Amino acid sequence: MDWVAFSKQWQYRDEILLAVTDDRKMSNVDSAAAFFILMILAVGSQYCQRQNGESLLRPYEYFTLALPYLNSIVQLHSLANVQGVWAGTFLRQLC
């Protein structure tokens, strides 16, 4: 995971997540950011699920929200492409 790139994406998480919930069209860069943010939230919610986290979505719900943005990841032809596909496969195994 490119944590430097992700930390930049994380700074805009509120705008990106609002666009996700409003089902707004996003650029490829924002769509890729949405995918990685939702996948990190899915993994995090997997660990928090055992700790009375009723306000969190379940891991599978974050995963489902991330899936529409997988197309933007597949089109990248870079290391982020490999990381995104791996993250999706890994999390799918957990859910």
pLDDT in tens, 11-54: 888 999 899 989 899 988 888 889 889 988 888 887 776 666 56
pTM over 0.75: no
What are the extents of the domains in the chain? 3-94
Over range 53-61, report the average pLDDT.
Answer: 76
pLDDT for 95 beyond 60: no
Query: pLDDT value at position 20?
Result: 92
CB 24 within 8 A of CB 72: no
d(CA 8, CA 55) in angstroms, rounded, equals 25
Please give the helix or strand (H or E) that residue 86 lies within, else none. helix 79-94
Compute the mean pLDDT over every residue in the chain, rounded to the nearest whole number: 78
Which residue has better confidence, 42 or 1?
42
57-61 LR contacts (CB < 8 Å, sep 24+): 59/91, 59/94, 59/95, 60/95
